[in-house]
A = this chain, B = another copy of it.
Amino acid sequence: MAESVRLYVAAPASVSVIQCSPPSWMAQIVLAEKSVAGEVIELDFGRGDHKTPELLTKNPRGTIPILCHGERVIHETLAVLEYLESAFPQPPLMPRDLDGLARGLSRLHESAALKDAGMALFAYLMRTPVAVRDAARLADLVGALRRELDCWERHYTGVEWAVGSSLTLPDVVVFTYLATAHQLGLDLARRWPALQAFSERMSTRASVRSTLSSTWQTRREDLAGFG
């Protein structure tokens, strides 16, 4: 009998302003890409349901996503993604050859810089009501994200995917930050056309459509004018 798969994620609607947790979303996309039938348990982030005693037993740091596979518990986002790649190797989402792996691992870990810039900006938007946002502070945070997007624009220029000829884990990671910035009003098309095209390609995938935050019907304008 197959071991049960449970993925604890942030309920999108419980994440104020952003209405999505990119780290949770990327784990859901990978489950969908691999057609893993698992239970996705949405936790109310605003209420702190990811820090209940039960959850802290699984991950004392209180971060999500958390993956439970049979008796095994995996926390830390990239650990979840890499574990899923080993436990459910088909279809492969990381190259198996050393040439591809060299590039794939570099890109996957380089995505930490995009995460840092993205999450710093998103956290500021979450915590700061529109009326009291500081223009200079916001511009600084957006500036850091813009520099990251410039870097990833070069990576995606002339290629469809981060590595090789098909989707790999770094694509999934990068996409969730692009999509979140887009939802918050950032226009990618002018300055980052390769990222815009990549983002559109990703948006057509069943794995993305089936996991998209249901509360993203109306696009916000927090980052409008920053593209």
Contact = CB atoms under 8 A, between A and B. Distances in A.
A106 interface: yes
Contacts of A73: 102, 106
A79 B98 contact: no
B87 A108 contact: no
Interface stretch (A12-20, A109-117, A128-136): A109-117
Contact of A105 (B61, B74, B101): B74
A60 interface: yes
Contacts of A75: 106, 110
Interface in A44-77: 60-61, 69, 72-77
Tell me if A's interface is mostly helix, strand, loop or mixed: helix
Interface residues of A, number: 29
B113 A78 contact: no
Nearest to A82: B105
Contacts of A101: 83, 86-87
Given A109-B79, A110-B61, A74 B102 contact: yes
Contacts of A102: 69, 72-74, 83
A77 B112 CA distance: 11
A78 B113 CA distance: 13
Nearest 10 interchain pairs by C-beta: A76-B109, A79-B105, A72-B102, A79-B109, A79-B106, A74-B102, A78-B109, A76-B110, A75-B106, A83-B105
